[in-house]
Amino acid sequence: MGYLQNKRVFISGVCGTIGKELLSELTSNENYRPVEVIGIDHNESELFFLERAYVDDERVRLFLGDIRDPHKLQMQTQHTDVIFHTAALKHVSLCETSPTDAVQSNILGVQNLINAAQANGVDTVIFTSSDKAVNPTNVMGTSKLMGERLITAANNTQRGGGPVFASTRFGNVLGSRGSVIPVFRNQIANGGPVTLTHPEMTRFIMSIRQAADLVLNSAGLARGGEVFVTKMPVLCIQHLAEVMIEELAPKYGHNPSGIEVREIGIRPGEKLYEELMSSEETRRTMELEDYFAVLPAFRGYYKDVNYDYPGVISQAINEPYVSSMDDTMTHAEIKQFLELHTLLDVEGASQEGPVKQFWPGDEKRAE
């Protein structure tokens, strides 16, 4: 935590779920105490309201900007110490139908930020990736994998000094915009049906706060070129739906037994399970207390990196980190997780957002 004290921090995608949480933590947690936090986003309306929320905090500077604009990034990252890159296109279906945009934001945008960081002598750059980057089956995951590779290459090919580049790899962030939590909530509020893609689908999960902590802690741990993976629990999506129906239906005036769970099938590009670490990566992974650190396949050409992390548990990992290979949370554990992170609260919960889940053009799912 002390690593960020008196530093100038830059956040791309500051209006997104993770970017906004990073801003909140950096400005409210006394352990961080940055001297300045600069945020950019291309969502004008969200940026306007976020600016109003921090109008009394003189450390916060928010600007309109897009990671596709290299000149904007060069200007806004001047005199910056740490960059947290959270801006991205993250929805699988939209990336699948607009792959060019995914390339421009999730690949070229990463390279734009790398160039800006190197030009301005930034100390540390942390890129936020996804479990979908492991053995990707869709455009979004493929673009995130390329982002990871660009970050690692930037660290391993630079001569002399320069920024420390590293990545973090998320599981599913429950409660984030576009996640299954608000979808299920709205479906239950409307009396059902709750739509389930497949009853055996499993996912790694983490809260918004846990995701932000992963990013912030990685800045102090990073040695260069590695990918940090948080140890996290696994749940079955059907069990999540059952717990949410049991807990939320009465709050919305419905009988839980009257809420139908309807299977709609796996969407194109979607996996039945998720992977956070592949079999190939295990041979170059170190286990820490709260994380796995996947080291680069190719080490630096011009400098040696000493991966001397504190609290190393093991330097030999034998099994890939796959959701189908781990025990899933019980109903009681899911309920406890949702309560701990206030994901079952009805008061103040937004009723905006999708009620139906379907693949664009698939009339059957749209009905």
Could you list the active site residues?
Answer: 132
Residue 206, SS3 per DSSP = strand
Whole-angstrom distance, CA of residue 75 vs CA of residue 128: 22
Residues 92 and 270: beta-carbon distance below 8 Å: yes
Whole-angstrom distance, CA of residue 253 vs CA of residue 343: 18
Residues 38 and 76: beta-carbon distance below 8 Å: yes
Residue 263, SS3 per DSSP = strand
Whole-angstrom distance, CA of residue 257 vs CA of residue 113: 51
Whole-angstrom distance, CA of residue 328 vs CA of residue 342: 21
Query: Residues with Cβ < 8 Å from 271, sequence gap 6 or more?
Result: 132, 137
**Which 8-state DSSP code applies to residue 290?**
S
Residue at 272: amino acid letter: L
Whole-angstrom distance, CA of residue 47 vs CA of residue 24: 14
Whole-angstrom distance, CA of residue 31 vs CA of residue 60: 17
Query: Residues with Cβ < 8 Å from 79, sequence gap 6 or more?
Result: 8, 120
DSSP 291-337: EEEE--SS--SSS------TT--BS---S-EEGGGSPBPPHHHHHHH
Nearest to 144 by CA among 132, 155, 126, 156: 132
The residue behind tokens 């320069």 is: 162
